[in-house]
Amino acid sequence: MHITEGIITGGSAVAYTGAGLAVVGWGASRMKKFVGDFPGKKPLLGMGGALIFFISLIPIPAFTGTTTHPCGTPLVAILLGPLIGCALTGVSLLLQAAFFAHGGFSTWGANVIALGVFGCFFGWGVFKVLMNIGLPLWAAGFAGGLVGDVMVYASSGMILGTTLVNAPNPQYSLAGYLAAIYAAYLPTQLPIAVGEMIITGMALQYAYRQRPEVLEELGVVNRPAKIIKHGKTFTIMLLPLLFVSFLAAPDQSFGIENESKPLPVTADSSEVRPEGAGRFSGMDETVNEKMAQNAGRATRDPYIDTEKMGDLWNLLLLSAGGVCGYIVGKYGHLLWGPKKIE
């Protein structure tokens, strides 16, 4: 999901940054309006930002030997609106680039477009369409979470492919790069997308059971929504689907010998991280950085490379988790807690 520092340069970096700033600025104006319209719901903005920041930061290992991230943006966009989701995404990506070596400043705009614009607008849009045609809240949430997650990685792949085909030493055509990138993303991201689908649908379902008036006030639902009476049981029944998605995902050891076959992107761990043999490598380095290097577009180390500082990175991640957990725990009752009797 995070395109690394140095992959996008020159005019493309400027264009993506300008587009990202425009979207984030527009979202900031909507946040100001949100505070004026719902003064009692202002903490939801902080909670939404905490969700996006931590969900899109925490690495989840997959059976393929790599790690990847969920997005969080579809759920936040459904609750608060896609433009606000984009603004919160921009702030989250800036903090991740500055302190966690995720993404980069030169690729910040491109990452905002992928994680923010595509994740928020597609997730929110699919949810709204399905709610308007009468689907249950949980089903619309499932579809919004799944489509939003998939579109984040689809757009990241498109941005990466169009960048590398114009690199100094492109190895393949745009079609060849897209085939390679999507084939590489699929085995790791499919289970994560299914997980995000379940979490988004169930979070909306539980919020409506606990605080229906809040979702109605925010415009998430405009009429009595159809929900599942036994939501916990239903969620447990869905867990095998997550397991099946792991089994159904193809092996990542595929390769491209020509443009009609996928490019070999699974690098030997000693090639990518000589000191990290045996550890899980992120999709960003295993796929994005490897392809960029082959195309002659060398990545740059982050300006503050906390990943090389070992325990400091772990401390920062732990601290970030604590802060985000505190925010969600303190204000989560606005959505998922019982209504207080005045």
Residue ranges covered by each domain of the chain: 10-295+308-336
What is the number of other CB atoms lying within 10 angstroms of the CB of residue 10?
9
SS3 172: coil
The CATH class for the domain spanning 10-295+308-336 reads mainly alpha
HSE-up of residue 199 (Cα within 13 Å, Cβ side) = 18
pLDDT at 161 over 80: yes
- Secondary structure (DSSP) of 30-54: HHHHHHHH-GGGTHHHHHHHHHHHH
The pLDDT score that the predictor gives to residue 269 is 38
pLDDT class of 290 with cuts at 50, 70, 90: confident
**Helix extents (H) in 40-173:** 43-55, 73-80, 82-99, 108-111, 119-132, 137-164
Strand partners, 270: none
Band the pLDDT of 62: cuts 50, 70, 90. Answer: low
Tens-digit pLDDT profile for residues 163-198? 999 988 998 899 999 999 898 888 888 888 999 999
- Residues facing residue 281 across a β-bridge: 66
Distance of CA 320 to the CA centre of its chain: 17
**Is residue 157 very low, low, confident or very high in pLDDT (cuts 50, 70, 90)?**
very high
pLDDT tens-digit profile of 201-252?
999 999 998 889 999 999 999 876 666 555 555 555 555 554 444 444 444 4
Distances (CA, A) of 45 to 19, 42, 188, 202, 297: 22, 6, 30, 20, 37
Nearest Cα neighbor of 160 from 148, 143, 172, 149 is 172
Nearby residues of 192 by Cβ (< 8 Å), 6 or more positions away = 60, 62, 68, 69, 70, 149
Work out the angle between the directed axes of helices 43-55 and 311-331 (0-180°, nearest 10). 150
* φ, ψ dihedrals at 46, nearest 5°: -65, -40
Report the pLDDT value the prediction gives residue 235, as an integer from 0 to 100: 52
Q: What tokens does 156 get? A: 């990241």
> What is the Cα–Cα distance from 240 to 140, expressed in whole angstroms?
20
Gap between the Cα atoms of 116 and 24, Å rounded = 9
